[in-house]
Structure 1
Amino acid sequence: MDLQNDAVSKPISVIACISLALLYVVTLYAPTFLLRLPPPSSFTNFMIRRFLCAIVSTTLSLFITPLILPVQTRDLKYIFGVYGLRVDHMWQALVLPLALTSLMYAGSLLLKSLQLFDFWRQHAFFGGGLSFDSFKCAATSFIDWLSAISSNVMTWRNYIVGPLTEELVFRACMIPILLCGGFKPYNTMVLGPIFFSLAHLNHFMEIYTKQNYIIKKAAMIIGLQLGYTVLFGSYASFLFIRTGHLAAPLVAHVYCNFMGLPVLHSQRSGIVTIASIIGFLGFLWLLFPMTGPELYNDRIDNCSCWQ
């Protein structure tokens, strides 16, 4: 990202980001409130409609952003580079952030490993041992599980459409706008997630109206979600600014959606807590070394963010 700072005024950059966030949210409700379309016949159709809306709003954001930024060329490679859409250094952008993020889930991974070990041990003692047939049965069950989740609309929402559209809008589009507005990288890492969290406020009305929660309980649930959203948004923004590669926050987003909240303590074994602490300390220790711009770029003298 070699765009010039202060090329866009700070008020304009903030207004632009708020507008993009509103565009993303409002478009989700456009079929019902603007187009007056009848309600979907099923939950799957409802989610597919939302997927299409998210894709439309994301596409509009990708076309609008170059009009705001001081982009003087129509070279798609340059524009894609501003968005962090690159094929170079791809393995670093996928593997290193994934490994770094996994450290935050050291306790969760250990707990899942213990549960898996118990499953295999019970199968060995009560199922006739670990024979070829048992491995074949396990492989068949795993394939059936993959088939089931791949056809589940929530899988597409949590691991494909949601992360991809959100990272394109709230990282690829907004962060260059804020940086060009003169905001410092660390200010951008704080300000960007605020827009990201505001885009999730619509969940309050959904929880309050559809799940019949009282306002206080709905507010507590959404407050927790927004807090986690701000924390993750800051981390994702950090990855994007440090690496200049959209694949970095994208793979972290998908992984966090898959794992959920990290397990910090388990009554089953104190070693899970120890693993969580060690993982967190390792995460802090490796945060900057594993996100060094020189690992993801051939040049680091063409962006003031990396100086």
Structure 2
Amino acid sequence: MMETLTVKEALTACGGMTVVYVAVLYSPTLIFRRPPPTSFYQFMIRRFICAFVATLLCLFLSSLLLLPTGSWKFTHILAAYGVRSNHFWHAVVCAFSLTCLMYAGSFVLKLLDLWNEGESPYFSLESIKSFASNIAAWRNLVVAPITEELVFRACMIPLLLCGGFKPETTVFLCPLFFSLAHLNHLLEFYSRKNCSVLKTSMAVGTQLAYTMVFGSYASFLFIRTGHLAAPLVAHIVCNFMGLPVIYSKRGLVVSVASIAGAIAFFCLLTPLTVPALYNIKIDDDCSCWQGYCN
């Protein structure tokens, strides 16, 4: 049985988890009382540990708010966070297919590049080995997707829904916290690139807009499928591909593929994520996540 939250409690908890995630992520010296890292690899390892520490703190906080401590069960906690085996592969394939449709132009562009001498496909043996030994790739494709989806989807969405927010509102509200957590890039970009405030604001503004759009999409997948795996797969694909290619000098075929992929995406988004397909029963009289209060 899940707890009933107020709107204020849900918003305060989500705001607090955003602060906790960013604060712990950027304060490794408070956890590791050691000299500054001597290499980028050492710095990233510390950042990874901090990310997982922050994630565990957020999971513990949300569990306290969602589930009475006297009735904690591992299966209940996993279910509240969208970790379940029922229709798992269905959710994975659905999220992967939908997300790839948005990158139709990017895939066509890559296929055109393969015709040029010296170009290699995404998944060549050399590229796989390169990713396996690249600490930045581990950040973008493993640590960031796992920790961010656990905090900003698995923890926050159940809190907002149990706090009384409608699913439609939650889809657009939850990404606000996700975007706010990326404001730290404003200082990083400004200090490392030595750019003007205007140029930095434009760059970060673009990133925040992208995180808002992606955050809404990921939240939609989580609410509709009830699976954490769905937004996690989408997150990995988006981090791997970057911004979708809409136009290219390579030819009109890239733009046509992008438009066709976008149309297919919006046409299939709702039919492929019908909650009934994932054994999720929507009860208008139930105020909590996935009807667990019943």
TM-score (normalizing by structure 1) = 0.87
Cα shift at 1:70: 4.5
Cα shift at 1:301: 4.8
* Aligned twin of 2:197: 215
* Aligned twin of 1:12: 9
* Aligned twin of 1:130: none
1:142 equivalenced with 2:124 (yes/no)? yes
CA distance in 1, matches of 2:86, 2:231: 16
**Structure 1 letter corresponding to 2:57:** L
* Aligned twin of 1:300: 281
Alpha carbons 1:293, 1:306 under 8 Å: kept: no
Counterpart pick for 2:94 among 93, 96, 113: 96
1:252 equivalenced with 2:234 (yes/no)? yes
Counterpart pick for 2:212 among 219, 227, 230: 230
CA distance in 2, matches of 1:213, 1:111: 31
* Aligned twin of 2:134: 152
* Aligned twin of 2:38: 41
Alpha carbons 1:62, 1:169 under 8 Å: kept: yes
Counterpart pick for 1:273 among 234, 255, 266: 255
* Aligned twin of 2:26: 29
CA distance in 2, matches of 1:111, 1:80: 40
Larger gyration radius, structure 1 or structure 2: 1
Cα shift at 1:34: 7.4
Cα shift at 1:33: 6.2
* Aligned twin of 2:49: 52
Counterpart pick for 1:290 among 272, 275, 278: 272
Cα shift at 1:86: 1.1
Cα shift at 1:266: 1.1
1:189 equivalenced with 2:187 (yes/no)? no
Larger displacement relative to structure 2 (249-258 or 202-211): 202-211
Q: Deviations over 1:136-174 (max 9, x none)?
A: xx89x9323211210100111000000000000000000
Identity rate, percent: 51
CA gap of 1:16–1:270, structure 2 versus 1, over 3 A, is same
Structure 1: tracts of 5 or more residues without a match:
124-137
CA distance in 2, matches of 1:214, 1:271: 37
**Structure 2 letter corresponding to 1:267:** K
Counterpart pick for 1:109 among 104, 107, 110: 107
Alpha carbons 1:31, 1:37 under 8 Å: kept: no
CA distance in 1, matches of 2:2, 2:281: 13
CA distance in 2, matches of 1:152, 1:89: 33
CA distance in 1, matches of 2:146, 2:283: 27
CA distance in 2, matches of 1:152, 1:54: 18
Cα shift at 1:217: 1.0
**Structure 2 letter corresponding to 1:161:** V
| Alignment RMSD | 2.2
**Structure 1 letter corresponding to 2:141:** Y
Q: Deviations over 1:218-254 (max 9, x none)?
A: 1111100000000000000000000000000000000
Cα shift at 1:112: 0.9
* Aligned twin of 1:126: none
Q: Deviations over 1:162-215 (max 9, x none)?
A: 000000000000000000110110111111000000001111111111221111
Alpha carbons 1:242, 1:306 under 8 Å: kept: no
